[in-house]
Amino acid sequence: MKCTSANPLFLFGVALLSLLSTACSRYSLPAGSPAYTEHRIDGSIAPDTAFIAYYLPYKQQLDAEMNRVIGHSAVPLTKPGSVPETLLGNFFADALLTEGRKSDPGIDFSFGTKGGLRTELPKGGITVGHLFELMPFENELVILELSGKSVRQLAGFIAATGGQPVAGLRMVIHANTANDIRIGGTPLDDSKTYRLLTYDYLANGGDNIRGLEAPVKRVNLGQKVREALINYVQDCTREGKQLNTQLDGRIKLDE
């Protein structure tokens, strides 16, 4: 699903139009400019009904798409910052791994960051708008082929930052270091290569991730992360399932 009617540029346009109609701020030319005049933009300015009439049909179409329920969650998908594994992180990583394996069944594990998930998801109906809020960026899925040593560096980053969203990878954090690292249930082998599914922001060096700097190979899938999330939720609905993400100990904290 491409969700073309909810293109982020269009979202920005609607937000900007609404701001121009209702904002309580001011705009001024730089001091010293010819014919300098200050114009206050506030509630004293009457709405431009022709302007509103022009964009209202588009806004109504957008609202209808954003409010469309595409699935249901049996539990609130939350991301408390004090724990190494969260329901929201597990949902996100599981969704990416499931969707990525449609393109490449050989993908071993997926990885994201807590900071990239911008909202939590409620128990009950999940709308298109919820997933736009969760992942408001235009990030695209990327497969990185990594050496075992690079995966070990990545696991070290995950441990040092208190845990991050992963699927297909399990580990124990002890004294901020990664221990008992397993990929697909098998202990990490430094001599092997592994396929990681992540997104371009992280693959390009975002968040100063360790271990992703020198992949053996990179494949851009050309699919937005948000589209993968929408597809995953819709597939669950078509199968008659609710989202019922659980904590399963994929990242444990050994204190």
Dmax (CA) of the chain: 73
Measure Cα distances from 122 to 11, 22, 56, 134, 239 in Å: 22, 30, 29, 11, 21
Q: What are the mean pLDDT values of the chain's consecutive 10-residue runs (255 residues total)?
A: 42 48 50 69 85 87 92 97 96 98 98 96 97 95 98 98 98 97 98 98 95 96 97 97 97 91
pLDDT at position 21 is 44
pLDDT at position 22 is 44
pLDDT at position 215 is 97
Provide φ and ψ at 140, rounded to 5°.
Answer: -120, 150
pLDDT at position 20 is 45
Domains in the chain with CATH codes: 4-66 (no CATH), 70-253 (3.90.780.10)
Count of C-beta atoms within a 10 Å radius of residue 183: 21
pLDDT at position 209 is 95
> Nearest 5 degrees, angle CA 113-CA 1-CA 195?
40
